[in-house]
Amino acid sequence: MSSQTNDSYYIGIDVGTGSVRASLVNKSGHVRSISTQNTKTWRDPHDSNIFEQSTANIWDCVALVIKACLKEAGVHPGDIKGLGFDATCSLAVTDFEGEPVAVTKGETLGRHGERNVILWVDHRAEKEANLINSTGSIVLDYVGGTMSLEMEIPKILWLKNNMDAKLFSRCQFFDLPDFLTYQATRDSSRSCCSLTCKCSYVPTTGWQKDFFTQIGLQELVERDYAQIGIREGEDVLIARMPVGQGLSNKAAKELGLPPGTPVGSALIDAYAGWLGTIAARYTENDVLSNVVPSIEESGHRLAAVAGTSTCHIVQSPKGIFVDGVWGPYKDPIISGWWMNEGGQSSTGQASFLFQNLIDFVLTNHPAYPEAVKVGREQGKNVHTLIQERLERLKTTHNVDTFTELTKDLHIYPDFHGNRSPIADSRMRGVMFGMELVKFSFAVPLSPLIDIIIQDNSLNDLAKKYHATLMAIALQTRHIIDTLNNSGHQITSIFMSGGQAQNRPLMQLFADVCGMPVVLPANSDQAVGLGAAMLGRLAAEYGGSGKEGQARKLWNVMVEMTPPGTMISPSWGPKEKKLLEAKYKVFLETIQIQKRWRQEMEEASR
């Protein structure tokens, strides 16, 4: 294979919940090729909380997608100047030689085995999270007051509680992004993003000895934290810094790239999405803005990264503490800046593991098969068909907006618990306004007969679909309002992921939140683009440390991020009033559910 140009290329590897994707990107941010490979996930048929994966399987997929990208683009491996990784915040477990350690409860736990990743969505560590949240430790201040059972320390504690002590002492624990750079370089340096956001590494003060001792993980302290990453006093890596000496000989052979290819310090996938979207210019009414965004402007832009879940990330020059929202995290991407992260579980892209909220509401409605059938006959997807049905209903009911059409139908969206800003995994989905319909028909020699049944029509499906979009938008506003009320100054939303392709939903975001929404040029490329930027930064600025990192990183972001498209709020006075009423009902629904749950708990004692 020969090189087609003298251009420099970078590869971003995005390890998502159900797949690995490689993006081959040039210096201007143009994506030359993309390749995706599905990964394996194991479930426990007797425990719905269990989700496990394999680092060996993930790494095999990394090799496949890199080679496929090179082949498709016709790019010589020697033209790849840097490599960057992002991944879900899942827990990878190996021994100190890098061999996988099984995380499956039972006889194999703690021994060498394929299933060595506890996926982020695995909820086995509820008891451990409850213990951690009862400590009052300073680490809780940096996760919005409540540590999620999706984070790494509850999962490590679960392994400690269920594993033979001798086997536990052999383990080293990685947030998955850091495992990938370890596998690539055999250097165990850890990223600030992973340690600070998911592993209880406290900004400015580092590891908290008293906290680990209090929860029963004193072994980590006694071994100077070697099992979870950096030792006391060592520096964590921030974005732009290279890991070790680049690709090891072994990894280079496996990936088909030259040994020593620079590998950038990794990011959690949502943070790579922030990196790949937030510096974009944008077009409004087909006119490209002449304003080049500054790093200061980034503090007013919220990145909403919709994967399987949706993450909401905003940065600020000073740390801002927000109840129910993770952070503030110092230096997770840009040196000297802090970040907060909100989120919605299972509202983003659907996968073979999960239905997202939209698909759950659609596919569980009795009229869904009919919608699929009619859509197939008309050559339309279900979402287009439903949107057209909503337009007809608006005309039939003589209303101006879909909000007025569904004003008495309310959905609360936390079918999989609330990540933020309530931070309560026990919250559940709710529907108000379910309807029955009356059918009247004549029977020979009998009076007219009326039958009342549940409305299972396409009309009802369409209204529930819109109410679901409304619920997601209302919760997005709840997160933004909570951030702004605590000191942030968010004035726009920068989307990426599958939700960005749903224009009615994006318009709802703009209308409900009262601010413009910017859609990326290619919604499915933002995260991989961010990872590729890490490879470029490692190649170009690898030896210069933290000095000047902020400006250099921002300049690369501006240079490599393609312009997005702005959607502005479009409501009139009546629509705005209805949306405010919807939001009020949404907030009241939260309080009602909490009160009902407390009353039922008290009654069952």
On the 0-12 / 13-18 / 19+ scale of CB atoms within 10 A, 401 is middle
| Nearest to 193, CA basis, from 157, 239, 156 | 239
Q: What is the per-residue pLDDT for 441?
A: 53
| pLDDT of 203 above 50 | yes
Percent of the chain with pLDDT over 90: 82
What tens digit of pLDDT does each residue of 325-359 get?
Answer: 999 999 999 999 999 999 997 765 544 445 588 88
What number of other Cβ atoms are within 10 A of residue 233's Cβ?
A: 8
> Reduced to 3 states, what is the DSSP secondary structure of residue 555?
helix
> Reduced to 3 states, what is the DSSP secondary structure of residue 302?
strand
Strands 47-53 and 449-454: unpaired
Contact present, 313 and 270 (Cβ < 8 Å): yes
Average of per-residue pLDDT across 281-286: 89
Cα atoms in the 13 Å half-sphere on the side-chain side of 60: 9
Contact present, 520 and 305 (Cβ < 8 Å): no
Distances from the Cα of 592 to the Cα of 345, 586, 587, angstroms: 21, 10, 9
* 6 pLDDT tier (thresholds 50, 70, 90): low
Distances from the Cα of 234 to the Cα of 189, 230, 231, 488, 600, angstroms: 9, 6, 6, 31, 50
Give the C-alpha separation, 458 to 464, whole Å: 10
What number of other Cβ atoms are within 10 A of residue 547's Cβ?
A: 9
The average confidence (pLDDT) of the chain is: 92
Q: What is the per-residue pLDDT for 231?
A: 80
| pLDDT of 561 above 80 | yes
DSSP per position, 30-64: -EEEEEEEE---EEETTEEEEEEE-HHHHHHHHHH
What tens digit of pLDDT does each residue of 98-109 get?
Answer: 999 999 999 999
Q: What is the per-residue pLDDT for 443?
A: 57
Contact present, 144 and 325 (Cβ < 8 Å): yes
Q: What is the per-residue pLDDT for 4?
A: 46
Q: Which residue has the tokens 């590869």?
A: 11
| pLDDT of 590 above 60 | yes
Average of per-residue pLDDT across 517-541: 93
On the 0-12 / 13-18 / 19+ scale of CB atoms within 10 A, 414 is buried
What tens digit of pLDDT does each residue of 145-177 get?
Answer: 999 999 999 999 999 999 999 999 999 999 999
| Angle CA 262–266–270, to nearest 5 | 140
Distances from the Cα of 546 to the Cα of 383, 549, 560, angstroms: 47, 5, 21
* 309 pLDDT tier (thresholds 50, 70, 90): confident
State both tokens at 203.
């900004």
Give the C-alpha separation, 402 to 473, whole Å: 14
DSSP per position, 441-489: E--TTS--EEEEEE--SHHHHHHHHHHHHHHHHHHHHHHHHHHHHTT--
Domains and CATH numbers, the chain: 269-349+478-567 (3.30.420.40)
What tens digit of pLDDT does each residue of 178-202 get?
Answer: 999 999 999 999 999 999 999 999 9
Give the C-alpha separation, 36 to 569, whole Å: 35
What tens digit of pLDDT does each residue of 69-89 get?
Answer: 999 999 999 999 999 999 999
